[in-house]
């Protein structure tokens, strides 16, 4: 699949549920209202949709959410999709908050998953509880260690929050170095109404990078995962440090992805509202021709890029939907 700007679309991110067992301050309001369960695609429907994308050239699938591992019977979908590895699909991965990893790490490896991203914004237990509202750090760390023991390659994702975790990254770099994890820092994106003021949360990573450069020997790395992160090597730990900077650097030129929600809506860009309904063609007939045509039509509408700006006067989100809908 090639979009109007010549970019090959080979990566599908699937939000398998909008529900979550945490309420991270930058992601959701505490009293977040979730979709009625009847709106969700079944696991079989999600599987059929993913296969349609694999047939059209998707090589990498990432399951996300909400929290993907809180969806009931999620291993059924992961096992089925894992069976496609080698048949067009090259990689099946997951982004998780880690709360259920102790339970699922071995099953994930069995299913063919090799790498996962785990979101941890701080290693300070109290701060972690404050950021995630409902999360407990020891449970997440148990999960991460289970993943490591099972042989999964782990990348830690941390959202940089001004005045909250900006002093924690040195400690996180050390911890990641000890365990052989890469670390990726992310700027907050203005998506969906949350209870906090976004302009107060926003911390430009250019600043963080300059600060970290005083303590660590960072050199530009040519490492690329096909994603928007720019990587640096950390000489002292031998690990990589990634920066995802949607706000200070336009990461759209090399965008290779589209995003599917748990209701079958396809978003061609994280930062734009235009979307395609794939649930109707999916449910219309057992034959995949209509679905394939809808996917082709959607890719032809993929926009050039997002236009996130931090609206300092109004502190309004750039797009109304929450990250938990499109999965980040
Ligand atoms: N629940 C899983 C997790 O937390 O990893 C997967 C879904 S979560 C929406 C995916 C990623 O998006 C997480 O790393 C999270 O920190 C990030 N995220 C959520 N809201 C964000 C925002 N407004 N700006 C930047 N990143 C955000
Ligand atoms: Fe849940 Fe992930 Fe959003 Fe946190 S970032 S509330 S863990 S979906």
pLDDT tens-place string over residues 196-234: 777 778 898 999 999 999 999 999 998 887 778 899 999
Taking the centre of ligand 1 as the mean of its atom positions, its distance from the CA of residue 28, in whole angstroms, is 10
Ligand nearest to the CA of 323: 1
Say whether pLDDT at 284 is over 90.
yes
Taking the centre of ligand 1 as the mean of its atom positions, its distance from the CA of residue 328, in whole angstroms, is 6
pLDDT at 132: 97
pLDDT digits (tens, 9 = 90+) for 58-95: 999 999 999 999 999 999 999 999 999 999 999 999 99
Say whether pLDDT at 252 is over 70.
yes
Task: Indicate the top mutation candidate among 22, 34, 192 to test ligand 2's pocket, ranked by most ligand atoms within 8 A of CB.
Answer: 22
Taking the centre of ligand 2 as the mean of its atom positions, its distance from the CA of residue 106, in whole angstroms, is 23
Nearest CA to ligand 2 atom 4: 24
**What percentage of the chain reaches a pLDDT higher than 90?**
77
pLDDT at 43: 98
Q: Which atom of ligand 1 is nearest to the CA of 64?
A: 6
Task: Indicate the top mutation candidate among 16, 20, 22, 27 to test ligand 1's pocket, ranked by most ligand atoms within 8 A of CB.
Answer: 27
pLDDT at 317: 66
CA distance 255 to 269: 9
- Closest to 199 (Cα-Cα) out of 308, 328, 97, 120: 308
Instruction: Identify whether the C-beta of residue 112 lies closer than 8 Å to the C-beta of residue 61.
Output: no
Say whether pLDDT at 243 is over 80.
yes
Task: Indicate the top mutation candidate among 19, 67, 144 to test ligand 2's pocket, ranked by most ligand atoms within 8 A of CB.
Answer: 67
Nearest CA to ligand 2 atom 8: 66
Ligand nearest to the CA of 271: 1
| Overall average pLDDT of the 16-23 stretch | 96
Lowest mean pLDDT among 19-23, 84-88, 93-97, 254-258: 254-258
Lowest mean pLDDT among 36-50, 218-232, 287-301: 218-232
| Overall average pLDDT of the 231-258 stretch | 87
pTM attached to this predicted model: 0.94
pLDDT digits (tens, 9 = 90+) for 116-173: 999 999 999 999 999 999 999 999 999 999 999 999 999 999 999 999 999 999 999 9
Say whether pLDDT at 319 is over 80.
no
Ligand nearest to the CA of 201: 1
Give the H or E element holding residue 18: none
Q: Which two tokens stand for residue 176?
A: 């990641």
Ligand nearest to the CA of 131: 2
pLDDT at 54: 97
* Structural domains for the chain: 11-326 (3.20.20.70)
pLDDT at 309: 59
CA distance 278 to 276: 6
Instruction: Identify whether the C-beta of residue 20 lies closer than 8 Å to the C-beta of residue 324.
Output: yes
Instruction: Provide long-range contacts, Cβ within 8 A and 24+ apart, for 39-46.
Output: 39/263, 40/262, 40/263, 41/262, 41/263, 41/264, 41/279, 41/282, 43/71, 43/73, 43/74, 43/76, 43/77, 45/264, 45/279, 45/282, 45/283, 46/14, 46/16, 46/77, 46/262
| Overall average pLDDT of the 291-303 stretch | 94
Taking the centre of ligand 2 as the mean of its atom positions, its distance from the CA of residue 53, in whole angstroms, is 26
Say whether pLDDT at 277 is over 70.
yes
Ligand 1 in reach of 165 Cβ (< 6 A) = no
Q: What is the CA radius of gyration of the chain?
A: 19
């Amino acid at each position: 699949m090639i979009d109007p700007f010549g970019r090959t679309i080979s990566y599908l991110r699937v939000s398998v549920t909008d529900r979550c067992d945490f309420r991270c301050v930058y992601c959701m309001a505490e009293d977040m209202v979730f979709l009625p369960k009847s709106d969700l695609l079944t696991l079989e429907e999600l599987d059929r949709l993913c296969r349609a994308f694999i047939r059209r050239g998707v090589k990498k699938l990432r399951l996300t959410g909400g929290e993907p591992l809180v969806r009931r019977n999620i291993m059924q979908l992961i096992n089925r999709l894992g069976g496609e590895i080698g048949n067009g699909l090259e990689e099946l991965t997951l982004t998780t908050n880690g709360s259920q990893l102790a339970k699922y790490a071995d099953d994930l490896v069995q299913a063919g998953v090799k790498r996962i991203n785990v979101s941890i914004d701080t290693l300070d237990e109290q701060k972690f509880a404050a950021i995630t509202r409902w999360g407990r750090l020891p449970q997440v760390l148990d999960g991460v260690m289970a993943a490591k023991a099972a042989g999964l390659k782990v990348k830690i994702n941390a959202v940089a929050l001004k005045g909250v975790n900006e002093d924690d990254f040195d400690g996180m770099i050390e911890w990641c170095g000890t365990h052989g994890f890469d670390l990726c820092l992310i700027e907050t994106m203005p998506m969906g109404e949350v209870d906090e003021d976004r302009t107060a949360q926003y911390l430009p990573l250019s600043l963080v990078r300059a600060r970290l450069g005083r303590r660590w020997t960072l050199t530009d790395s040519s490492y690329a995962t096909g994603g928007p992160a720019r990587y640096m090597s950390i000489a002292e730990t031998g690990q990589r440090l990634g920066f995802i900077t949607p706000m200070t650097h336009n990461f759209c030129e090399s965008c290779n992805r589209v995003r599917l929600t748990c209701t079958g809506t396809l978003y061609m860009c994280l930062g734009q509202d235009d979307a395609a309904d794939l649930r109707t063609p999916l449910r219309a007939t057992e034959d995949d021709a209509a679905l394939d045509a809808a996917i082709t039509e959607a890719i032809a509408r993929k926009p050039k890029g997002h236009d996130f700006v931090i609206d300092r006067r109004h502190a309004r989100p750039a797009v109304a939907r929450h990250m938990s809908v499109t999965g980040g």
